[in-house]
Structure 1
């Protein structure tokens, strides 16, 4: 299991619209091959900042399967107008160090 972490900054005054767009888009992620779920987190310390955390079986499930799909285009239509800048996206995997 890998995690996609998208750091997203939204335009001032767009938080409610962005969150509503993400709520509409979650079924797009849910039906994507290899997706194990998604969560939107609001950053407490910085207004208008979010982290979208998506669980994928593989990086290719995200980068090829989802990013090259019509569902990705729909996702961007739902939320893209709220972005202050393009999201910073990276993938992580758990190490053996942990609790």
Structure 2
């Protein structure tokens, strides 16, 4: 499993509109091959700051399957205009400790 993590900064005063758009976008991402789950959390200290965590079966399910799909174009239309600056997206893999 791969964990995609993105720290998102939403333009001031657009938080409620963003959350509504994200609810719509959630239907898109959850329908994709390799998708496991996702969550969006808002920061308690900084208004407009969110953390998006998405679990994928493989890195390619996100970077190729989703990012190169027609569905991603719809995702972009719904969400990308809210961000300033544009978020850095990183991928993580669980460390096996035993």
Query: Do the two structures share a fold, i.e. TM-score over 0.5?
Result: yes
Question: Aligned residue for 2:47?
Answer: 47
Distance in 2 of aligned mates of 1:79 and 1:46: 19
TM-score (structure 1 length as normaliser): 0.93
Question: Aligned residue for 1:12?
Answer: 12
TM-score (structure 2 length as normaliser): 0.94
Question: How large is the Cα RMSD of the aligned pairs?
Answer: 1.3
Question: Aligned residue for 2:86?
Answer: 86
Distance in 1 of aligned mates of 2:23 and 2:58: 23
Count how many residue pairs are aligned between Structure 1 and Structure 2: 98
| Structure 2 unmatched ranges of 5 or more | none
Local SS of the residue matching 1:31: coil
1:37 positional shift: 1.2
